[in-house]
Structure 1
Amino acid sequence: MIKTVQPANSLIGELHLPPDKSISQRAAIFSLLHDGVSVVKNYSPAQDPQSTLSCVQQLGAEVEKADGQLKIKGTGRDGLKKPVKDLDCGNSGTAMRLLSGVLTGAGISAKLIGDPSLSARTMKRIIDPMEAMGAHILARNSQYAPLFINRIDALKPMKYELPIPSAQLKSCVLLAGLFGDEPTQVIEILPSRDHTERLLNLDQKMVQHRKIISASREDVIPEQSYTIPGDFSAAAFWLVAAAIQEKAELVLKNIGLNPTRNALLDILKDMGADIAIENEHNEGAEPAGDIVVRQSSLKALDIDPKMIPNCIDELPIIAVAMLFAEGSSVIAGAEELRHKETDRIMAMAKMLKAVGADFEEKEDGLIIHGNPDFTFEQATFESFHDHRIAMSAAVLSLKSRKECKIRDAESAAVSYPGFWEDLGLVAKG
């Protein structure tokens, strides 16, 4: 689908954004492992969480959908069923990596498959620790899906120092560890998203600036009954759109404010964005609140590489903000972007080039020479079938003088099925 986006004179309105995908997928998997019934409200309708939900049903969870909520009857750790067909993770790296930990821990033999995009992403990072814990994993070229997972020998608890800050890798190891008689410890040097530790109420302690998280059979897997907050990664597009748009004021309702997810808030505030948080509260173990953002005057910023893991998904839209900031901004230490749904550094560079921006592409990021008065006539953007690139291009299109076109715009539905409708609600021509 080619989407045409008209320039906007203002952005005004209130939005209820899609449920958080990361929390939704964990709610499904952890409800499977809980020995009892969980009631999950506002579960994400996006493709990735729906793939995860299908997988947990194949593993034995009973799911009822009614009145906008899910009632999930879990099997407990010892009741998982061997699936009768392949577990199709679709495009979800979260599903494939977390379920690899569940299968390893439970000793369930299964085959995990995914779509072409997921099958092109390396799984080597989780294969190595799972095999160290006793799994036998067959993978295409020793690192790509499909993954055939089996464990015959006893589970081997381990102490595992994360080689990179990765919430998916961390969660994979901890989920396998939940099945062990002795604790498995994950040692985290740089912080990553902590949804798994929060939602499972796992033991955590700080030792010499390192976080040590433990998991074993001693941990009681809690009921997962709560309302999924709005996805901060979805909110990111509107935060930037309103900050760079004249006559803008948006209210984003009930957004997840997990401090390991919302580095973009600090980045935009440091750039001078007019952002306020209202109605702060908790949704289960997760903090949430309403975000109000208005037209702002932005200044350039060099992002601290230590912050990159906590804003990795938001970097494409951060690049758009930098384009309209006074001065030169730097994104560095983000080489992982080249291994996402597409090479996002390349995709961001193509997007900036299409509008005539002044920038430099680096192996691990970008240098963007911004201008608050930057403008361009029109452009046609390639999304590379990447949802975050498509939505970033849409925000950039609002600043054009004439209509812009975005190729394969339907990819936005991967994380934000209603994005184009919401854009139509708040963008005023």
Structure 2
Amino acid sequence: MDYKVQPATSLQGTLQLPADKSISHRAAMFAALHEGTSVITNFSEAADPHSTLDCLRRLGVEIEEQSGHTIKVEGVGRDGMKTPSTDLDCGNSGTTMRLLSGIITGSGLSARLTGDESLSNRTMRRIIEPLRRMGAHIDAREDDFAPLSISRSAALKPLHFPLPIASAQLKSCVLLAGLFGEKPTEVVETLPSRDHTERLLSLSIVKEGEKKIIRSSRQDPVPQQSYRVPNDFSAAAFWLVAGAIHPDASIRLPKVGLNPSRTGALEILKQMGTDIEITNNHNAGAEPVADIRVKSSRLRPVTITEEIVPNCIDEIPILAIAMLFADGVSKVSGAEELRHKETDRLHALAEMLSAAGAEFEEYADGLKIAGDPDFIPDGAAFKSFHDHRIAMAAAVMGLMGEEPSTVLDGDSTAISYPNFWTDLSMLTN
């Protein structure tokens, strides 16, 4: 479905953002591995975490969905999952497939993990190699792509695994397999990535200079997962940029997760001069949470390098829109990973910027954008490439035009933000 975006005269209001998807996935999986009942409130209503719930049910986990986006999970412990009688359909969710692959390997069950067309064309080689070293038998299309058929006949082998890239999904996959081992598995991280897994599981972490060594084994108890999932910072980022670039904006975003391994975009926007106020700091379970207010700002250009990218990888599409309205030239480098998301996001951004009439250059691993605080994007039909983050970035940019624009296949926003278009309408009315 296509959505028309009208130019906005002002952006004012308070938004109740969707729950954090990354935490929702993990909360459900870890609750299943806990021996006992967990009640998780504010569980994400997006499609991806519900693919995780469906897969867990096929593994014999009893999950009750209650009112108010609350789920009750009857944990079966590490040894209580059952061999599924049907495929584990991960839908469009790479998090579901990669993290469950670790759990399946560790548990010793046999299972076949499938996904939709998009997920079936995203690389799984990064998790296949370490899981095989831990003793898994894995059959994959072209030895890289789903469906993945996973089994294990020999004892689980502990693994010392230096992360080849900064990837929370790869890290989590290996650590979850390691949870089933008698001897510790170690993941060595040199570039930081999201740390929800080690936080929510209270795993052992040792720092050696620039390295962080995270260990998991059967000796690590899986904690109960009863807490409120924070609101999604990645969703907040779209409104932070919208508020910053619009000349008449004041947007309040309560109860947003501010995990330091997720908020690189917040620091980048502050560096650009965004008028941001943070109040009501508190914790929800193991995660820091706060209220955020953003107001109209005069933005400076910024350079995002390889070292920063892992902490803002999902926000780069909307940060590119902030750069478009900054006073000078901004650059992104070291972001080649964006070419392997739901779509090639660097190419998708280049298509969007070109359609808007922007001045930019596309590189193999990034972009250079000539910003202008007075830039007026052309009214155009912007391709979303069925990618939720591209669709939302195009919508935010469209608010700044003089003529209406259209986001093609804008319903893709439901993947992470089901109420995006309703919230956009609320802010502009």
Instruction: With the length of structure 1 as denominator, give the TM-score of the two structures.
Output: 0.99
> Which residue pairs with 1:259 in the alignment?
260
> Which residue pairs with 1:39 in the alignment?
39
In 2, Cα distance between equivalents of 1:280 and 1:116 = 41
> Which residue pairs with 2:57 in the alignment?
57
> Which residue pairs with 2:87 in the alignment?
86
In 2, Cα distance between equivalents of 1:120 and 1:315 = 22
Spell out the pairing of 1:22-421 with structure 2 (5 A cutoff).
Answer: 22-68=22-68, 69-421=70-422
How far apart are residue 66 of structure 1 and its match?
1.9
1:82 alignment partner, SS class: coil
Q: Is the 8 A contact 1:32 1:60 kept in 2?
A: no
In 1, Cα distance between equivalents of 2:271 and 2:412 = 31
The unaligned stretches of length 5 or more in structure 1 are: none
In 2, Cα distance between equivalents of 1:59 and 1:283 = 28
| Greater alpha carbon shift after TM alignment, 156-165 vs 63-72 | 63-72
How far apart are residue 247 of structure 1 and its match?
1.1
In 1, Cα distance between equivalents of 2:305 and 2:206 = 25
How far apart are residue 61 of structure 1 and its match?
1.2
How far apart are residue 399 of structure 1 and its match?
0.4
How far apart are residue 309 of structure 1 and its match?
0.3
Q: What residue identity is the alignment partner of 1:366?
A: L
> Which residue pairs with 1:21 in the alignment?
21
Q: Is the 8 A contact 1:60 1:74 kept in 2?
A: no
In 2, Cα distance between equivalents of 1:253 and 1:265 = 15
1:108 alignment partner, SS class: coil
In 1, Cα distance between equivalents of 2:169 and 2:207 = 20
In 2, Cα distance between equivalents of 1:266 and 1:71 = 35
1:305 alignment partner, SS class: coil
In 2, Cα distance between equivalents of 1:287 and 1:58 = 32
1:416 alignment partner, SS class: coil
Q: What residue identity is the alignment partner of 2:17?
A: L
Q: Is the 8 A contact 2:377 2:397 kept in 1?
A: no
Structure 1 residues 80-102: Cα deviation after superposition (integer angstroms, max 9, x where no partner): 11111000000000000000000
How far apart are residue 205 of structure 1 and its match?
1.0
2:131 alignment partner, SS class: helix
2:15 alignment partner, SS class: strand
Q: What residue identity is the alignment partner of 1:319?
A: A
Structure 1 residues 259-296: Cα deviation after superposition (integer angstroms, max 9, x where no partner): 00010110000000000111010000000010100000
Q: What residue identity is the alignment partner of 2:370?
A: H
Across the two proteins, how many residue pairs are aligned to each other? 428
The unaligned stretches of length 5 or more in structure 2 are: none
Q: Is the 8 A contact 2:105 2:136 kept in 1?
A: yes
Q: Is the 8 A contact 1:113 1:147 kept in 2?
A: yes
Q: What residue identity is the alignment partner of 1:115?
A: D
Identical aligned residues as a percent: 59
Q: Is the 8 A contact 2:63 2:71 kept in 1?
A: yes
How far apart are residue 67 of structure 1 and its match?
2.9
In 1, Cα distance between equivalents of 2:151 and 2:221 = 25
1:281 alignment partner, SS class: strand
1:149 alignment partner, SS class: strand
In 2, Cα distance between equivalents of 1:186 and 1:97 = 16
In 2, Cα distance between equivalents of 1:224 and 1:66 = 16
Structure 1 residues 198-227: Cα deviation after superposition (integer angstroms, max 9, x where no partner): 000000010121000000010000000000
Q: Is the 8 A contact 2:78 2:107 kept in 1?
A: yes
Q: Is the 8 A contact 1:187 1:211 kept in 2?
A: yes
How far apart are residue 234 of structure 1 and its match?
0.4
Q: Is the 8 A contact 1:5 1:404 kept in 2?
A: yes
Q: What residue identity is the alignment partner of 1:22?
A: S
RMSD of aligned residue pairs (Cα, Å): 0.6
Q: Is the 8 A contact 2:376 2:402 kept in 1?
A: yes
Deviating beyond 4 angstroms after TM superposition, the runs of 4 or more aligned structure 1 residues are none
In 2, Cα distance between equivalents of 1:57 and 1:288 = 30
In 1, Cα distance between equivalents of 2:60 and 2:188 = 31
Q: What residue identity is the alignment partner of 1:15?
A: L
| Greater alpha carbon shift after TM alignment, 89-98 vs 368-377 | 368-377
In 1, Cα distance between equivalents of 2:41 and 2:74 = 14
In 1, Cα distance between equivalents of 2:378 and 2:215 = 55
Structure 1 residues 151-209: Cα deviation after superposition (integer angstroms, max 9, x where no partner): 00000001000000000000000000000000000000000000000000000010121
In 1, Cα distance between equivalents of 2:224 and 2:378 = 53
How far apart are residue 376 of structure 1 and its match?
3.0
Instruction: With the length of structure 2 as denominator, give the TM-score of the two structures.
Output: 0.99
Q: What residue identity is the alignment partner of 1:9?
A: T
In 2, Cα distance between equivalents of 1:285 and 1:344 = 31
> Which residue pairs with 1:9 in the alignment?
9
1:399 alignment partner, SS class: coil
Structure 1 residues 50-101: Cα deviation after superposition (integer angstroms, max 9, x where no partner): 0001111111211112232111001100111111100000000000000000
